[in-house]
Amino acid sequence: MYFLPAEQLRLYRNFKSIEVNDFHGLIRYYEQNEDGIRALDFDEYLDCTLTYANALFEAGDYGKHLVMCDHLLELVIMQNVDHWGGEDLYHRLLFKKSASLYYLQEYGKSERILREIIKIYPHDHLAALYLNKALQLQKPRWLFRARAATVAFALLAVLVIALEILAVPQFFPRLLQPMQYAHNLLIGLSLASLSLGEAGHALRCWLKTRRLVREARSRKVSSNKFQVENFK
């Protein structure tokens, strides 16, 4: 569909007149006038589409946001757009894509993108933070076993306490003190299984993230030194 220059100007002007924090208004206008926006000059189209994608993210429509991220990543690579509004556009889009996957609870996919971001941008502290969170939310099998042990020890403690109250004082009074020791031990084991399992998983994730960041920074320094030596 052909749009006259005056119509294109009106579309762009009306879109830019919407408050940047009116996310639903931006989404509604873009989707109602998508054909016209696609007919705009490249810079104007990119400006509108980036704003629309950001509005989708802020409005919590992460599924649509992922679709737009893929489209925009392809676009900026094909058009060789490095920076936009003073930002590294490729970096920004990759991070927002990983964040949408994170909020959609697709932690494995989010983790893979965050790893790539850290390899390219090793000083991105926010990417490292999200990676650590994504790793923590992917529970390994051994952690589920630790949780099962927690429940088992707790149930055994309840059983021992029930026997301690209902049967031992009447029929086996000499076993009262050993039973008290037993239920205290079982409660302790239950708490230990829970706390050590969760703490161990958190520490393991933190160490993984820290190691990846350290390796990425080391490679970056080596690469910079290599470039300087070649320049000389």
Longest pairwise C-alpha distance within the chain: 97
Q: Do 60 and 154 share a domain, yes or no?
A: no
In a domain, 168, yes or no: yes
Domain boundary among 127, 162, 195: 127
Domain boundary among 127, 156, 189: 127
Ranking 17-31, 119-133, 151-165 by mean pLDDT, the lowest is: 151-165
Q: Do 78 and 160 share a domain, yes or no?
A: no
By the 8 A CB rule, do 1 and 35 touch? yes
Find the CATH number of the domain harbouring 70.
Answer: 1.25.40.10
pLDDT at 189: 79
C-beta pairs of 84-88 under 8 Å, 24+ apart in sequence: 84/46, 84/50, 88/121
Ranking 85-89, 176-180, 214-218 by mean pLDDT, the lowest is: 176-180
Q: Do 166 and 209 share a domain, yes or no?
A: yes
Range 122-131 average pLDDT? 95
Q: Do 97 and 207 share a domain, yes or no?
A: no
Range 124-144 average pLDDT? 91
Estimate to the nearest angstrom the gap between the alpha carbon of 181 and the chain centroid.
Answer: 45
pLDDT at 157: 78
In a domain, 132, yes or no: no
Q: Do 14 and 116 share a domain, yes or no?
A: yes
In a domain, 200, yes or no: yes
In a domain, 134, yes or no: no
Q: Do 112 and 9 share a domain, yes or no?
A: yes
Domain boundary among 98, 127, 156: 127
Tell me the C-alpha to C-alpha distance, in Å, between residue 108 and each of 11, 39, 113, 204: 40, 37, 9, 16
Does 76 score more than 50 pLDDT?
Answer: yes
Q: Do 70 and 149 share a domain, yes or no?
A: no
pLDDT tens digit sequence for 142-151: 777 888 888 8
Estimate to the nearest angstrom the gap between the alpha carbon of 228 and the chain centroid.
Answer: 35
Q: Do 26 and 51 share a domain, yes or no?
A: yes
pLDDT at 191: 83
| Residue ranges with strand state E in 46-154 | 83-84, 87-88
pLDDT at 226: 46
Six-digit token string for 138: 């992917």
pLDDT band at 197 (very low <50, low <70, confident <90, very high): confident
* Total tally of structural domains belonging to the chain: 2
Q: Domain range for residue 110?
A: 5-127
Q: What percent of the chain has pLDDT over 90?
A: 57
Neighbours of 153 (CB within 10 A): 20
Does 4 score more than 70 pLDDT?
Answer: no
pLDDT band at 231 (very low <50, low <70, confident <90, very high): very low
Q: Do 170 and 76 share a domain, yes or no?
A: no
Q: Do 107 and 180 share a domain, yes or no?
A: no
